[in-house]
Every structure is written in structure tokens, then in C-alpha cells.
Amino acid sequence: MYNILNNRIQCSKCPIRHRAICAHCEEDELALLEKIKSYHTYRANQPILWRGDTMPHFSSVVSGVASLTKSMEDGRTQMVGLLLPSDFIGRPGRSIVEFDVTATTELTLCSFKREPFEELVRNIPHIAHRMVEMALDELDAAREWMVLLGRKTAQEKIASFLEMLVRRSGHPDQSNHSVDLPLTRDEIANFLGLTLETVSRQMSTFRKNRVIEFLDRRHFRILDMQALHLATGDDADGSILS
């Protein structure tokens, strides 16, 4: 199912060191995590966990993207979370997964075995604290997404999605940088509560209006950041506040 790599990356040199579950840890605490960690890699489209599975690990996304999805019996699917680098999978006290987890791109996880990690959560306040912080961040994100799903138009959904990708891509808000599109049209549709045809049409509209430009199907560039933000509906007057 997956490859286990050597623990070659030192925590102190880890690209997600300051954003992941270990963010608040001191050097000595890091050393404890270092002892129990292992890396796993997955191919694009590879399932990681199915709903109902018992989760043997807690993991941080080191690189790549994974999706959390829930499906109804008739096949309708809704993505309920997108895991980008530094995001965390797993919750103390609960070993049963409530959704399917899938790698949408090539993915590397930094994983910790259940028991020793829960032990560390109990004993290292820096980890427990970061855990709560990240759970609450996720809750905020989920609520923001509820507004998108319940009230935004297709156009606004696409704009919000693209803006989120730009924001989390690293290049603060500058245009002219290539941004990775880590999902297929169908996956985007499942994220936004749309059909893949609607996703395609709305993205074409933005392309035709020269708001974005596609380098290829999986990479785009922002041509007009302000127009994109205006289209999200988040800031009706499009003012440059905040």
C-alpha cells in the first residue's frame, strides 16, 4: 500500500517544522517526536483510509495534497476537507475515521504510532495545545466552507477556491506566479458542491475574461487578483481593506 522511507529528514530541517503539530515544540520535545516518527508516501489517487477504518497513525502532511470525502449511498460525494502541507490527520480518543482519505497528488506523510503519540499529547502541553489550536482552525475553515456551500453561486465558489489556493500556495498575493491545481475538475466539483461541467464552464469564463490564465490543466496564473477577489462575494464593495 505504501512505502516506508528511512527517517532521513531531521525534524529541525523539516519544511513544515513551524506550522505543523510540532510547531510549539522545543528542541528536546522534537527529539521525542523524532523517535517515533516514520515517513509514508502515496501515489496520486491512492486511497489512504476508508470511512470506518481504524486509524493506526496520527500524521502530518509533509508534501502533496490529500482529500477528506464523505459519500452518500447513491454516489453523491462531498469533500469535507483538503489537507495541504502541515495539516494533520487524526484525533486523540477516536480511532475510527468518519470519512475517506485519499491522496490527490503524490503525498508524503510524517506519521506517529497511536499509543506513543497519545502519550506525548498527554505529557507535552506544547503538543496538546497545538492540537486544540489546529482543531479549532479546522472548525473555522469548515464553517467558512458552509457559507460557500450554502449561499455562494457557482462563480463565487470557483473564485473562492482559486483564491484559497493562491493564499495557501506561498506567494502572498502577487500575480504572475504559477499556482498548482492539486485536484481534477471532478474533485473540485466535489469540493464545491457543483458538477464538473459547471466547474469547467466557470473556469473558462474566468479565462475568457482574462482573470486567470492556464499554463496547463493543472497550473494556472492570476492575471487580475482584484477581479478574482471581487468575484468571491466576500467583500461586496471590493475595497482593498484588510
Contact positions vs DNA (CB under 7 A): 45, 153-155, 184-186, 193-201, 203-204, 214, 216-218
Q: Give whichever of 1 and 240 is closer to a copy of itself, judged by the CB atom.
A: 240
Q: With CB under 8 A, what is the number of residues at the site for a copy of itself?
A: 41
Alpha helices in the chain (DSSP H): 27-36, 114-123, 125-151, 154-168, 185-192, 196-208, 225-232
Considering the rule CB under 8 A, would residue 27 count as an interface residue with a copy of itself? no
CA distance 138 to 133: 9
Nearby residues of 58 by Cβ (< 8 Å), 6 or more positions away: 21, 88, 89, 90, 111, 112, 114, 117
Q: Give whichever of 92 and 116 is closer to a copy of itself, judged by the CB atom.
A: 92
Give me the least distance between CB of 231 and DNA, in Å please: 12
CA distance 77 to 191: 9
Binding-site member from 26, 27, 28, 73 for a copy of itself (CB under 8 A): 73
Give me the least distance between CB of 100 and a copy of itself, in Å please: 12
Q: Give whichever of 150 and 174 is closer to a copy of itself, judged by the CB atom.
A: 150
Here the cell at position 91 is 484525533
Considering the rule CB under 8 A, would residue 136 count as an interface residue with a copy of itself? yes
45: alpha, beta or left, given left = phi > 0 and alpha = psi -120 to 50? left
Considering the rule CB under 8 A, would residue 55 count as an interface residue with a copy of itself? no
Considering the rule CB under 8 A, would residue 197 count as an interface residue with a copy of itself? no
Considering the rule CB under 8 A, would residue 76 count as an interface residue with a copy of itself? yes
Q: Give whichever of 11 and 199 is closer to a copy of itself, judged by the CB atom.
A: 199
Are 179 and 221 a contacting pair, CB within 8 Å?
yes
From DNA, a copy of itself, none, interface partner of 95 (C-beta below 5 to 8 A by class): none
User: What is the SS3 assignment for 228?
Assistant: helix
Are 233 and 153 a contacting pair, CB within 8 Å?
yes
Here the cell at position 31 is 527529539
CB atoms within 10 A of CB 31: 12
Question: Which residues are near a copy of itself by CB under 8 A?
Answer: 68, 70, 72-74, 76-78, 80-81, 91-94, 98-99, 128, 131-133, 135-136, 138-140, 142-147, 149-151, 192-193, 233-237
